[in-house]
Amino acid sequence: MSQHELPAGGRDLATTIDQAANDASHRQGDKEISALQTIEDGPLEEEQSKPTVLPGVARVEAAASQLTNPKRWTLFSIIFIFGFAYGLDALLRTAFITYAVVEFQDHSLIATITVVRGVMAAAVQPTVAKFADAFGRVELFSFGVLVYTLGAIVSAASANIQTLAAGAVLSQVGYSIFVLTLDIIIADLTSMKTRLFFAYIPNLSFLISPWIAGDVTAAILKATTWSWGIGIFAILVPVFAIPMAIILWLLGRNAKKTNPNQPRYPSLKAVGKLAGELDLVGMLLITLALALILTPLTLAGGNKSKWDNAGVLAPIILGILIIPCFIFWERKTSSPLLPDYLLTDKTVWACIIISVFYSFGYMCHSNYLFTLLIVSYNFSLTAAVRVSSVAIFCNVFAAFITSMVVVKVRRLKGFIVGGISIAFLGFGLAYHYRGGTSSQSGLIGAEVVLGIGGGLFAWTALVLAQTAARHEHIGMLIALMFSCNSIGTALGGCIAGAIWTQTLYATLLKNVIPAGGSAELVMQIYAAPLQAVPMYPLGSPVRDSVIESYRYIQRLLSIACLAIYTVMFVVALFLRDPRLSDLQTQPEAGRKRTEKRSSGQDDSQPASRWLIWWRQ
């Protein structure tokens, strides 16, 4: 299905989307203030002075004012094609990375790579948002594609786990840059009620790619190695990115013609002020805390306990001590990661928690899913790739249908609460159908339910958070939501890795040796399960003991997921449910804070920032 194939009544919906998006793009110009203004001056000076914006923002505003419906649909068609390229790479890369770490005899380090990628992705997002405002969307997009390609080349050429991990981190940073840039562009060019629809266009490729990913993976591994599997996309992704970069550049050039005197890049003085607003100290503190706490947790354990090792304990303790320093800094700094009126908004905080816990729970479930499918459920390679992609397909399908319904109903909260409830049911099914060929159909059903639930609430929460933000802060809010999603990914990889390394080896020793195995065989199964386990057919004592060990690990992972989603459901009940507007932002966004100022209340003081949240 392409983005032009709408269900019954689709023509009316398309007309509604076109009109609303066009209206939004023509109403933005008179509402912006400088991204370099401080929060203390923002809402009041909007009424007192002429708005000024950074060059990157000014160019995209000018482009939005000239964007006709044919140009808009052309742009989003190109975004769909590019999304197909990097989406297929994302699906296949998981399988190739798994085979790579198995070849390097370090299968349990999958979680460590996931944690490091998540931490790095979380760190770059706010910086990318600010620099996209300052230097332009096309520049940041092109830079992200370049970094992503370099990371793929490094991973493809790696001869050890360290080089593989370095390439994976580089690819994740590049991916985070160009995906965030795309989402900021989409927010610039769409109205609130159509944003969810257009935001999902880059992901529509997942309606197709899951069904071909298994065959492509098997064909590549049959003809060559995992190294070429990664390297192929170091060529394809840049090739598909070129049309996207060209159309963004053309839009920027047309916009420049409307204002030839507009500066292309900020002055040195503006760049210095921009660096101050990035809150580099806060980002450094939170990144250090996450890296120091999360990474050692996945390294402690395995075939023997490492908790008495100072190299594991010291980073964790230091990371915990940094957290209070981060909180203290954010209370005192004049430029926190979020402006005051968003820091005191309960819906923003609830959406942030949902963003963290969504990826947190899903990564606990999916981090070792590919291994479980082959070892425990006895799926073939092609079938395992397809089953691991079922949730993604159902997620995108459900989200796309939801986005079209949202255009009509203009409400979001019900979809979020309902989606979390459905996903909770999916984890319950995954808990029930653990391991063995008799559970194959049940697991597939669980993946379908999980995908539908996630499609109802994952991106819906991102759009709902934007209803609280003024336009000059939407880019940073999207970046922070993406960062929180990356933090959740890191936490999920951390918990899954900790459960895996702390429990699996001991469980294998307990079950495999009585079944006739040896300690050496247990070590082989633990380090390289995709190679060692298939040598023992189903029904053999060793294979049955391995399946039983993996069933126990999957039980622990499923319980963790259910606990995480219980918290998320409670949080979702406290969300606001505003009616989505036809404008680029909600008219009431930031109004509550402005009214407080006019009544003599000053919420800019750091000491009061944390109290106001509870009073609202």
Q: What is the pLDDT of residue 265?
A: 64
**pLDDT classification of 613: cutoffs 50, 70, 90:** very low
**Range 152-157 average pLDDT:** 92
Q: Do 87 and 216 fall into the same domain?
A: yes
Residue 279 or 27, more confident: 279
450: helix, strand or coil: helix
Residue 285: HSE in the Cβ half-sphere, 13 Å Cα cutoff: 18
Residue 127 maps to a domain:
yes
Check which CATH number belongs to the domain holding 98 and give it.
Answer: 1.20.1250.20
Instruction: Tell me the pLDDT tens digit for each residue of 259-302.
Output: 666 656 666 666 666 666 667 788 788 778 877 877 776 565 45
214-220, Cβ contacts within 8 angstroms, sequence gap of 24 or more: 214/381, 214/382, 214/383, 214/384, 214/385, 214/386, 214/389, 215/382, 216/88, 216/92, 217/92, 217/95, 217/96, 217/381, 217/382, 217/385, 218/381, 218/382, 218/385, 220/92
281 Cβ contact list (under 8 Å, min separation 6)? 329, 333
Q: Do 286 and 400 fall into the same domain?
A: no
590: helix, strand or coil: coil
pLDDT surpasses 70 at 59: yes
Q: What is the pLDDT of residue 442?
A: 93
Q: Which of 4-8, 251-255, 301-305, 358-362 has the lowest mean pLDDT?
A: 4-8
Q: Do 326 and 432 fall into the same domain?
A: no
Instruction: Tell me the pLDDT tens digit for each residue of 528-584.
Output: 888 888 888 888 898 999 999 999 999 999 999 999 999 999 999 999 999 998 887
Q: Do 557 and 495 fall into the same domain?
A: yes
Residue 599 or 99, more confident: 99
191: domain range?
18-258+272-279+333-582
d(C-alpha 210, C-alpha 228), whole Å: 20
Number of domains in the chain: 2
Give me the chain's average pLDDT, please.
78
d(C-alpha 143, C-alpha 243), whole Å: 15
Residue 587 maps to a domain:
no
Residue 182 maps to a domain:
yes
**Range 595-605 average pLDDT:** 42
Taking each helix axis from N to C terminus, what angle separates 110-135 and 471-512, rounded to the nearest 10 degrees?
170
Q: Do 361 and 313 fall into the same domain?
A: no
Q: What is the pLDDT of residue 146?
A: 94
Instruction: Tell me the pLDDT tens digit for each residue of 170-188.
Output: 898 898 899 888 888 888 8
Residue 614 maps to a domain:
no
Give pTM, 2 decimals.
0.76
Which residue type occupies 324?
P
Q: Do 165 and 220 fall into the same domain?
A: yes
Q: Do 323 and 462 fall into the same domain?
A: no
Q: Do 199 and 314 fall into the same domain?
A: no
